[in-house]
Structure 1
């Protein structure tokens, strides 16, 4: 980056990036399970899957919240030459980097239908739902602080987790920065002048 600036990705967008793929892959795998009797039968599989869905959603949504809060409290103001990455670019980069894990998870959920139909797919979908809930929680945190949270792109490249060991600190910007609303969703109304290479100092 020019003059010492860093590429920054929205924390909530990174968290949210895996929600849709996990949800839809899980739903597809569960749908296949509905037509396969399996060893336990569909009824037991559906009940087991519903329990796994709820547990997975709760665990994923609650995981590492203390770490997120600590990083959010210590967030420094983004610099003048820091570059804010587009929401679509952040999501696409995450999904490309995790495509093989997503594929393996889907194949595992499909294979589980032979033993406990539907359960594996609902477990996968529960993980996706948990990520969506965590992104929503981050959105509430951002609104409370009136500050959007960003993480350096090069730190994400080392592990892909926005609250992992490679992430030392977050950066903060005004609530109107970038093209994603608090929580990582697409903004319903465009922010005048927002663009891919807009620097944090302008927002």
Structure 2
């Protein structure tokens, strides 16, 4: 990077990147799995799946909130020569780095339908929902502090994820209007021209 600048990726975008593929793969696996009677039967499978969906969401959504809050509190201002990574690039990097894991999770969710129909797919969808809720919480944290949170790209592991992992020593902050993603990592909506 020129003059000591660093590549920065939005924390909320990294968190949110896995939400959609996990949700859709989970829904697809649950739909296919619901067609199989399985060992336990569809009714028990769906009830177990609903419980796993809620459990997955409840575990993922609040995970590491203390670490995120501490990193946000200590965030330093991004430098003049830091390069803000586009939302699409961050999402693509995360999904490319995790594609084999996502495929393995999808196949495991499908395979579990032989025993408990739809349960594995509903768990996967619950994990995706948990990531979406965590990104929404990060958006509220960003709005409250009026600072968008960024992590150095080289501190993310090789697969493009873990914005609060051990390698992350600090976050950087920018104004609320920086970058192409809104607080929480969603696409920034532009006002229609009149």
The answer, yes or no, to whether TM exceeds 0.5 is yes
Residues 22-71 of structure 1, C-alpha deviation per residue, up to 9 Å, x if partnerless? 00000000001111000000000000000000010011001000000000
Whether the aligned pair in 2 keeps the contact of 1:6 and 1:82 (CA below 8 Å) is yes
Equivalent position SS for 1:151: strand
Name the residue aligned to 1:172.
173
Q: Over the residues paired in the alignment, what is the CA RMSD in angstroms?
A: 0.8
Equivalent position SS for 2:151: strand
Whether the aligned pair in 2 keeps the contact of 1:151 and 1:170 (CA below 8 Å) is yes
Name the residue aligned to 1:117.
117
Gaps of at least 5 residues in structure 1 are: 191-203
Whether the aligned pair in 2 keeps the contact of 1:179 and 1:186 (CA below 8 Å) is yes
Number of residues paired by the alignment?
A: 190
Equivalent position SS for 1:182: coil
CA apart distance, 1:189: 1.0
Equivalent position SS for 1:21: helix
Gaps of at least 5 residues in structure 2 are: none
- Segments ≥4 residues shifted beyond 6 Å: none
Name the residue aligned to 1:41.
41
Distance 1:147 1:158 in 2: 26
Distance 2:116 2:63 in 1: 27
CA apart distance, 1:157: 3.2
1:146 paired with 2:133, answer no
TM-score (norm 2): 0.96
Name the residue aligned to 2:162.
161
